[in-house]
Amino acid sequence: MRERIYTAAFVAIVLCRMKKVVGVVLVGALVVGGIVVVKGAPSISLVVSEEGKTCARLGELCDAQKSSEKLDQCVDEMKKMRQMAGDPAFERSRKCVEESTTCGAATGCMAGGVGMGAVGEMLKGFGSALSK
């Protein structure tokens, strides 16, 4: 009989302490969740530029290996493409990639918008050089 009383008391103490632990864990989860909601998820906040968003979407569609180094490299290349093709061509590609559902379509978006924009800029320069 004594064993049952001690066992019941022990179980009551353990349950009481577990409730405190569960309470602390829940409060901690709510605090962390609130911070994530207010500040945004870390993976989203790292990709802020339009170039970064485009790189992230291309990586998602084409199952690219995720690494911050590759993301930085892609963002640098996107900035070069924007500079080479011009803002309107880059924006066309960016919007097209955003709406794409396959890797092939997204790749075509980049070739069509930025690629043709760069060719257009080259032809402008070519025409300008011929007329001078």
Write out the DSSP string of 30-55: HHHHHHHHHH--HHHHH--SHHHHHH
Q: Same domain, yes or no, for 67 and 120?
A: yes
In which band, very low, low, confident or very high, does the pLDDT at 116 lie, cut at 50, 70 and 90? confident
Say whether 124 sits in a helix, a strand or coil: helix
Instruction: Enter the pTM of the model.
Output: 0.59
Q: How far does CA 130 lie from the centroid of its chain?
A: 45
Binning pLDDT at 50, 70 and 90, where does residue 10 land? Answer: low
- pLDDT, one tens digit per residue, over 11-61 is 556 555 555 544 444 444 555 554 544 444 445 444 478 898 998 898 889
Q: Indicate the number of domains in the chain.
A: 2
In angstroms, the Cα distances linking 43 to 40, 46, 56, 96 are: 8, 5, 10, 22
Residue 74 shares a structural domain with residue 9: no
Instruction: Look up the domain containing 33 and give its range.
Output: 1-40
Helix axes 116-131, 68-85, angle to 10 degrees: 40
* Residue 95, C-beta contacts closer than 8 angstroms, at least 6 positions apart: none
Q: Are residues 30 and 47 in the same domain?
A: no
For the cut 70, the answer to whether the pLDDT of residue 96 exceeds it is yes
Residue-level pLDDT at 8: 53
What is the model's pLDDT at position 20? 53
Residues 29 and 57 both lie in one domain: no
pLDDT at residue 122, rounded to an integer: 85
pLDDT of amino acid 27 = 44
**Is residue 33 located within the same domain as residue 52?**
no
Residue-averaged pLDDT of the chain: 74
Cα–Cα dist 84/42, whole Å: 31
Helices and strands: H and E segment counts in the chain: 7, 0
